[in-house]
Amino acid sequence: MKNFPEIEKLYNQIRQFPCQDLSSSSFSVALTKLTIACQEYLKTSTRITLISKVVGKEYFSFCEDKKNSRAVRMDLFTDDIDVLLLFLTSLENNNFESIKSLDIDKACYTIAISFCAIIDLEKIGDQKTPGTFFEHFIGHCFSKRLNVTPKTRVDVLNLDKATALPTDYIFDLGKGKAKFHVPIKTSTRERVIQVWAHQRVLDGVYGNGRFYGTLACLSETKVDKKSLEVIEICLPQQWQLYQMFIAQMKRVYYLDIPTAYLKLNDVFPKIHVKTFSDFIEETKDFSNFD
């Protein structure tokens, strides 16, 4: 018996947390309950292997009543609930000493993709719910790790004009310290230019180097419904143009890094595309962050 109403109830709790409560214990509790409920749900779902056109990665879909979920990466999805709970406890305490990097990546990916896959199975064409969940989940991770809750608007005082700029999450570590501009997307596609444009506005208003542009994404896979083939949709050359001509993004963190973007680490103009465990590692000491 699939308990989707329970999952929906917990999602609705998570969705309604305001920014300033994203790192609260009650958020952690709801997230842990949701994680357990999602694994319970998926335990009895059929899995079909997809035909991966992505070199070095294997994917499957969960299936219910002839509906297939989005692609799930085999080596990153874990059925081991203990790994998920260890990650959530580490996150709650903001202490990752007892968890391996690979387990951080597996846990993060599994928590995010499980909820998204269940929505794929239960709803038709609902992109908003997975997006909102992912935003709150990553927002929570950043809040716990950076030890500060985000804002979603910044004041703009510019000569005779005072206005507020609505933004993605802004994590401000305080006076003279780093400020993170964190757009969060399950996948980017052609709309990603917005991310660089928002960074450009922040750079313009506050000065270059004041905000670390830090994009967080889930994956870029696309499944062909008929052939069951998985591809990754990537536009690396356009990212490079945006990086050269619009603004500088400091980091892009993926839960499932697309191969084409991984290569951007090695060519100029460099764009640093990393895993989520890299985020945990890099934010241990901000002086490494450059």
Residues that bind a copy of itself (CB under 8 A): 156, 158, 161, 163, 165-166, 191, 193-194, 196-198, 200-201, 203-205, 237-238, 240-242, 244-246
**Least distance (Å) from a copy of itself to the CB of residue 196?**
6
C-beta of 134 vs 196, nearer to a copy of itself:
196
**Smallest distance, a copy of itself to C-beta of residue 168, A:** 12
The secondary structure of 142-194 as a DSSP string is: HHHHHTS--EEEEEEEETTEEEEEEEEEEEE--TTS-EEEE-EES--GGGGHH
Residue 33 or 179: the one with the smaller Cβ distance to a copy of itself is 179
- Compute the residue count for the chain: 290
Q: Which is nearer to a copy of itself, 266 or 290 (CB)?
A: 266
Q: How far is the CB of 245 from a copy of itself (least distance, A)?
A: 3
Q: Where are the beta strands (DSSP E) in the chain?
A: 46-49, 51-52, 59-64, 67-68, 72-73, 151-158, 161-172, 179-182, 184-185, 211-217, 221-223, 229-232, 251-254, 273-275
Question: Residue 204 Cβ, how far from a copy of itself at the closest point, in Å?
Answer: 3
Which of residues 51 and 241 has its CB atom nearest to a copy of itself in the complex? 241
